[in-house]
Amino acid sequence: MRLCPAPAGHGIVFHRTDVEGVNPRIPARFDNVVDTRLCTVIANEDDVRVGTVEHLMAAFAGCEIDNALVEIDGPEVAIMDGSSEPFVFLIDCAGVAEQDAPRRAIEIRKQVSVNLDGKRVTLSPADGYLIDFEIDFDSKAIGHASIGVEMINGTFRHELAQARTFGFLHEVEHLQAAGLARGGSLENAVVVDGDRILNEDGLRFPDEFVRHKVLDCVGDLYLAGAPLIGRVDAVKAGHHINNAVLRALFADPSAYAIVDCDDVHAEEMLPATA
């Protein structure tokens, strides 16, 4: 995979370099999401797909990257260590450039909420970009946890980017028996067996599980096509409901507005386009 510069107004676009004879490009947008069962998968009109885009999209959001071409030679973004940190590191190594265009944001103008099977995500108006997230698992290793973050001044880099994906041992074994998650290991996920964490080094944060859920949420919501200005309240949320709330938002034109960041006095929260 290569992350390449792109002009202002381009957005984030994935390009399958291994595909011939059909359109290889897939804009990273909520309305191109076609599967959310194990990860977030996007596809174009020719059913050219790229899966597990959420950790990279979260890195783009956290590094304030609006325009990039992602060249990839297969159907899935590498899981790396299960977090966004490797992508953030590589973006920092390459450096970013400001572009001569105003940065656009999506301002939430009225509340939009989706409830599915005991899970909920609500978008509400707010002056900044704030996320409140709550999880509740039967496993004592995970349990109940909540966190509130404001996406400002490097919050993503310092508080979320290192948080790894997690799963239960019996689920990993079931997936691998079905030919899925074949690369899944303790090197790219936190693995829980009953009430035990199997990783020898333990957790990177005491509440790493809920932090990773926020990371996923940041990545999924960046498929809106621009950063959000508003509050996100999420309870037991995952990829499916994250995408559902964006579809509900954009189905109601009165619920949002596309604004220049300078127009809402958000210079500190949302720096110029990079």
Torsion angle of the four alpha carbons 223, 225, 228, 233, in this order, in degrees rounded to the nearest 10:
-20
C-alpha distance from residue 200 to each of 186, 189, 204 (Å): 9, 12, 12
- Which pairing describes strands 190-193 and 196-197: parallel, antiparallel, or unpaired? antiparallel
Of 10, 212, 239, 240, the catalytic one is: 239
For residues 113 and 125, the answer to whether their CB atoms sit within 8 Å is: no
Instruction: Give CA–CA dist 261/273, Å, rounded.
Output: 10
| Residue 239 bears catalytic tag | yes
Amino acid, single-letter form, for residue 155: T
Structure tokens at 12: 């984030």
Residue 108 backbone dihedrals phi, psi, to 5 degrees: -75, 125
For residues 169 and 192, the answer to whether their CB atoms sit within 8 Å is: yes
Q: Any idea which residues carry the catalytic annotation?
A: 239
